[in-house]
Amino acid sequence: MHVVSYSGDITPQEAWEKLENDPKAVLVDCRTRAEWAFVGVPDLEVIGKQTVFIEWTTFPDGVPNSSFVDQLRAAGVSDDNEVIFICRSGHRSIGAAQAATADGVSAAYNVLDGFEGGLDENDHRGATGWRALNLPWRQS
């Protein structure tokens, strides 16, 4: 039997709907500072929210952020928040959702395809994910 160690995977559109409809839903972008600065970030202003930015792995060394859960809690995330984790393509955010779940968050989700999606046949990103679906985002 396969045990899911977080609440599951949702599409970027489902993530947006949760953020829009649940006042307690929080979006956590767990990419690196460099990605936030150079690629862009989800923009929740239109629904009166702000994205929480916490690196899962640190830039530039790529070391896991040992303070991730502490920073999540310091950002005001509590056990009863619906917490939606997004990274570049939906891999790092699985680890983030698992860590939050292990710390007591009852509803932690991973966004499939992340902000930019996986690599296509030409090794390019951007065909899938939050940005490709034209969900609100901005350049830093």
CATH of the domain at 124: 3.40.250.10
Lowest-pLDDT range, 7-21, 82-96, 113-127?
113-127
Residue 25 is assigned to a structural domain of this protein: yes
> What's residue 125's pLDDT?
86
pLDDT tens-digit profile of 12-22? 999 999 999 99
**Separation between Cα atoms, residue 29 and residue 135, nearest integer Å:** 14
Residue 2 is assigned to a structural domain of this protein: no
pLDDT tens-digit profile of 32-79? 999 999 999 999 999 999 999 999 999 999 999 999 999 999 999 999
Residue that wins the pLDDT comparison between 34 and 127: 34
Place of tokens 């393509």: 89
Output the 3-class SS for 59-103. CCCCCECCCHHHHHHHCCCCCCCEEEEECCCCCHHHHHHHHHHHC
Residue 3 is assigned to a structural domain of this protein: no
Q: How large is the average pLDDT for residues 78-93?
A: 96
Tell me: pLDDT of 1 over 90.
Answer: no
Q: Note the pTM of the prediction, 2 decimals.
A: 0.95
Residue 1 is assigned to a structural domain of this protein: no
Among the listed residues 29, 59, 56, the one whose alpha carbon sits nearest the alpha carbon of residue 42: 29
Residue 87 is assigned to a structural domain of this protein: yes
Residue 126: give the domain boundaries.
Answer: 8-138
Query: In total, how many domains does the chain have?
Result: 1
